[in-house]
Amino acid sequence: MTEGPLVSTQWLAEHLDDPTVRVVDCRWYLRPFDWRNGDDEYTRAHIPGAVHARWDTDLADPERPDLWMLAGPDRFADAMASRGIGDDTFVVTYDDQHVTVAARVWWALRVYGHTGVAVLDGGINKWQAEGRPTDDMVPHRPRAQFTPRYDPSLYATHQDVLAALGTPTRLVDGRMAGAREADGGVIPGSITAPGIEFTGADGTWAVPEEARRRLATAGACAPEPTIAYCRGGVGACGTALAYAIAGHDDVAVYDGSWTEWITDPDAPRAMDAEPRS
């Protein structure tokens, strides 16, 4: 329904009553930086008609709770279908810019072959700042038919990243500086481009030309195959979204990211992210 990975608040307002459009509230908060609860925020007020989905439970693999990795196809399809999201549904995800969880759900849908998805530019903050309506009614959508079609080009495993070391594949660290310093290392050969840094003070994302400029400045905009990672798989999706805005929609995300990487004693680490030519 749209070109590019974003939709504006105006676009959503005009399509809010479209039965082929589903809005997904993705709000979630990283403790101890923010003690709010995404479920409570959704219950209190959300964009009318929006359903709620948590990336760390509803859309995660329950057999790997320590890593919050993406749910398998059956679980993911059930989560979508039960929220009224089917094969022909256009999905709009949103958050409030605390972390890029709307980008995480955008990426997850694309991993399972659902390309009819976009992120609300500016999220619910911009929506409310413009005086647009919210409500506290939880919609009950009829179950839909969601068919997962796994796209391995968008999903990177631990073995994929190991195999990429020393090859032309570009590794992009999507962690913020504080997280990277606290973690005490990077995957060797990484360059740095946190996705959330591509948003402005109002929460809107950089326009394509600006996104391309910032990626080029970071040494991250090149024709090589690209894998983004972060600490736990959310920030990297923001980086993948920044790439998509710039016109590169084929960036893979290392789902386990640094949290999984350090569980392997043989996985190499470096102290600093150094841009590669």
**Window from 31-45, 52-66, 68-82, 133-147 with minimum mean pLDDT:** 31-45
Tell me if the pTM is above 0.85. yes
pLDDT value, residue 275: 45
Active centre residues (catalytic): 230
Are 6-150 and 153-261 the same fold in CATH?
Answer: yes
194-234: pLDDT as tens digits: 999 999 988 999 999 999 999 999 988 767 899 999 999 99
Please state the domain extents for the chain: 6-150, 153-261
255-275: pLDDT as tens digits: 999 999 999 999 999 986 444
Contact 82, 89 (CB under 8 A): no
- Confidence class for position 53, pLDDT limits 50, 70, 90: very high
Number of Cβ within 10 Å of residue 59's Cβ equals 21
Q: Average pLDDT in the 245-260 region?
A: 95
CATH topology (fold) of 6-150: Oxidized Rhodanese; domain 1 (3.40.250)
pLDDT value, residue 277: 36
pLDDT value, residue 219: 87
Q: Average pLDDT in the 47-62 region?
A: 96
User: Average pLDDT, whole number, for the chain?
Assistant: 93
Segment 96-99 long-range contacts (CB within 8 Å, at least 24 positions apart) = 96/27, 96/41, 96/123, 96/124, 96/125, 96/203, 97/123, 97/125, 97/196, 97/199, 97/203, 98/27, 98/28, 98/29, 98/30, 98/34, 99/28, 99/29, 99/30, 99/196, 99/234, 99/235, 99/238
pLDDT value, residue 201: 87
145-199: pLDDT as tens digits: 999 999 999 999 999 999 999 999 999 999 998 888 899 999 999 999 999 999 9
pLDDT value, residue 272: 63
Pick the CATH number of 153-261 from 3.40.250.10, 3.40.50.1260, 3.40.50.300, 1.20.1250.20: 3.40.250.10
